[in-house]
Copies of this chain bind each other. A is one copy, B any other.
């Protein structure tokens, strides 16, 4: 059933395995935005790309790379899950603007300008002060526009996000977060940001990571779908999608590395705390890739029609990539 509806998940970072790719098939997933790197530099990013090439070879009956929006339909026709790669930080380009085109050519379709902290490009959502987009940031936004690499502000601060939307000639996205008005987590986005994202032609991917949810791991599917409905009213049905932030089978050490990278000598707990330092307890209705049909059922229950559900579950992501990540010019 769900195989007939195009399903795209706009953010996952799992401990990738054949089992997980099989679960994607089981859950009716057609394409996934997979996080390639968090803190890796250019050379380390090449190694992560090399690892993905090995996965594409080893599991070519289950997955294939997506270099442009049309590849998602090609993957679907081939009965495979399309994987498109994104960086959660701008560390892969280091201080080198030439890396943007090269990484786009290698299949990096999406890049966040910051990951929680100040970067060379912009300010992250955990800094006390946000001075907006930097000199280098302005150049990189222009270059990302040129080569068709999507600007993702999921972990960025408010002013930097609004600046980026203003500066960018292409749509800007928040691949994985929720409205701050619904749940005031630091990673969630203000209505002002959400409206600007929509106005840019961009997209918000709804997170299913308990730290981003009202009532955390106890958030109900009905409450989640109510949030989606309210956001559809705010942003328009064309500008919302899914970005679960699913991190399957990852040890706590990976969570600590995501939060601390190489930048901190003191443990940073990110969205957690010293007494709540680990991975959150999963949602009962969304444990892993096999549970996308629950989400579809919840949206039906909430009264969305099939056309709307099709947009939310995947079609909007495909159209966003068509607008913001055209085939590389490089």
Contacts and interface: CB of A to CB of B under 8 A. Distances in A.
Interface of A: 42-43, 46-47, 49-51, 53-54, 96, 98-99, 101-102, 105-106, 330
A109 to B, nearest CB: 14
Contact of A99 (B42, B50, B51): B50
Contacts of A43: 42-43
7 contacts: A42-B43, A46-B96, A47-B96, A49-B102, A53-B98, A53-B101, A105-B105
Instruction: Determine how many copies of this chain the complex contains.
Output: 2
Given A42-B43, A43-B42, A43-B43, A50 B96 contact: yes
Given A46-B102, A53-B98, 17 more contacts: A42-B43, A46-B46, A46-B96, A46-B98, A46-B99, A47-B96, A49-B98, A49-B102, A50-B96, A50-B98, A50-B99, A51-B98, A53-B101, A53-B102, A53-B330, A54-B98, A106-B106
Contacts of A51: 98
A125 B303 CA distance: 74
Nearest to A329: B57
Contacts of A49: 98, 102
Contacts of A47: 96, 98
Contacts of A54: 98
A56 to B, nearest CB: 9
Among A46, A50, A54, A101, max chain B CB count under 10 A is at A46
B42 A101 contact: no
B46 A42 contact: yes
Contacts of A96: 46-47, 50
A101 B52 CA distance: 11
Nearest to A107: B105
Nearest to A44: B43
A89 to B, nearest CB: 18
A228 B99 CA distance: 43
A328 to B, nearest CB: 11
A53 B99 CA distance: 10
Among A51, A99, A102, A105, max chain B CB count under 10 A is at A102
A106 B102 contact: yes
A49 B102 CA distance: 8
